[in-house]
Homo-oligomer: A and B are copies of this chain.
Amino acid sequence: MTAITSASDDTELSCITSRAIAIDVGGSHMRCGLVGHQGILSVFDHPISPKSRLAPLLQVLDHHVAGFARNGDCRAITLSFPGIVTRHGKVLSTPRGKFEDAPDIDLAGWAKERFGLRLVMENDARMALLGEHAAGAAQNCMDVVIVMLGTGVGSAVMIHGALLRGAHFQAGCLGGHIPARFDGRLCICGAIGCVEAEASTWALDAIARELHTDGEDNLPLPSPLDFATVFRCSAAGDSFMTEVRDHCLNVWSAGIVGLIHAYDPSVVVLGGGVMASADQIIPAVSSYIERHAFTWWGKPELRTAKLGPDAALIGAWPLLQECL
């Protein structure tokens, strides 16, 4: 099922001197919006199957992007992608089992040939940070780390108002892959005991099995287990789910303190689907930061992301400003 919503009318559109088409390829949804400096003008949403490839999604996009492009005055297409990418449209790494054809697709060529537009691509967590910085939880903050708790754990970093990218486009966006347990489990990235391997949705079944030490081989749990279930059952008094929850809160907290030590932010923003349980996450992580972050100047403020899936679209505008 796809849905198109519009946040603007023709009168508003006529006031805009320039717009961009923003595409966000996410874990479970792809969204494509017409955006301007004032935000999202119109958006198209399309669900993504678990093992989707990218090429069929581009076919789905074709009609909608062409429609937005026909509205005229579009400067570029931005593409937010859940992996390591170059700004000029090259996918360098993909999430496990998903979009595996992406590194072989000439995305810049697709944008140029199909729509006559320039493509600017960025990692999804960096796009979310740009959006939250422009119009969300990180407004007016120059030094920010965003951590996205979802299927995996993503991150992005802004220092002195500029995104950190590094020599090979990796800096700042592998916050889920700093160690939480040097002797822990093998992560999908190839490292050992990463925060993501010790506390994320894809690792949750293994985490629960490991914590369940009373000798039962088969846990009486839904599989795959998800964080909505963990937090709901924990809130209802389930002691084992509380143990799983507290384990993950501790891993995230230690990882976030690691990111505070690494990047020296004034604000840490937490986003992603797992933050549906922000009421249980924010107090626990805030308290841990208060007790354990080594920051001579005070403590970074922990905030919940405000824009949800819109962040990666709203980030299109500041991304293009950066490229001017």
Give residues in A with beta carbon < 8 Å to B. 84, 92-93, 142-143, 159-160, 164-172, 174-175, 177-183, 189-193, 198, 250-251, 253-255, 257-259, 261-266, 291-297
Contacts and interface: CB of A to CB of B under 8 A. Distances in A.
A160 B168 contact: no
Of the candidates A159, A165, A261, A264, the one having the most CB atoms from chain B within 10 angstroms of its own CB is A261
Contacts of A253: 182
A188 to B, nearest CB: 9
Given A93-B296, A175-B262, A190-B293, 9 more contacts: A159-B167, A171-B262, A171-B264, A177-B258, A179-B254, A181-B182, A182-B250, A182-B253, A182-B254
Contacts of A292: 190-192
Nearest to A199: B182
Copies per assembly: 2
A261 B178 CA distance: 7
A123 to B, nearest CB: 12
A260 to B, nearest CB: 8
Contacts of A175: 262
B171 A258 contact: no
Given A167-B160, A296-B168, A258 B190 contact: no
A261 B170 contact: yes
Contact of A168 (B167, B181, B297): B297
A179 B264 contact: no
A182 B198 contact: yes
Contacts of A198: 182
A198 B181 CA distance: 11
Contact of A264 (B93, B166, B266): B166
Contacts of A258: 177-179, 258
A124 to B, nearest CB: 16
Contacts of A174: 261-262, 294
Contacts of A264: 165-171
A243 to B, nearest CB: 13
7 tightest A-B CB contacts, nearest first? A166-B264, A182-B254, A143-B167, A171-B264, A189-B294, A174-B261, A178-B258
A159 B166 contact: yes
Contacts of A160: 167
B179 A257 contact: yes
A313 B201 CA distance: 49
B171 A159 contact: yes
Contact of A261 (B182, B191, B293, B297): B191
6 contacts: A143-B167, A159-B164, A160-B167, A168-B296, A182-B250, A189-B294
Given A182-B250, A292-B191, A293-B190, A167 B261 contact: no
Nearest to A144: B167
A257 B191 contact: yes
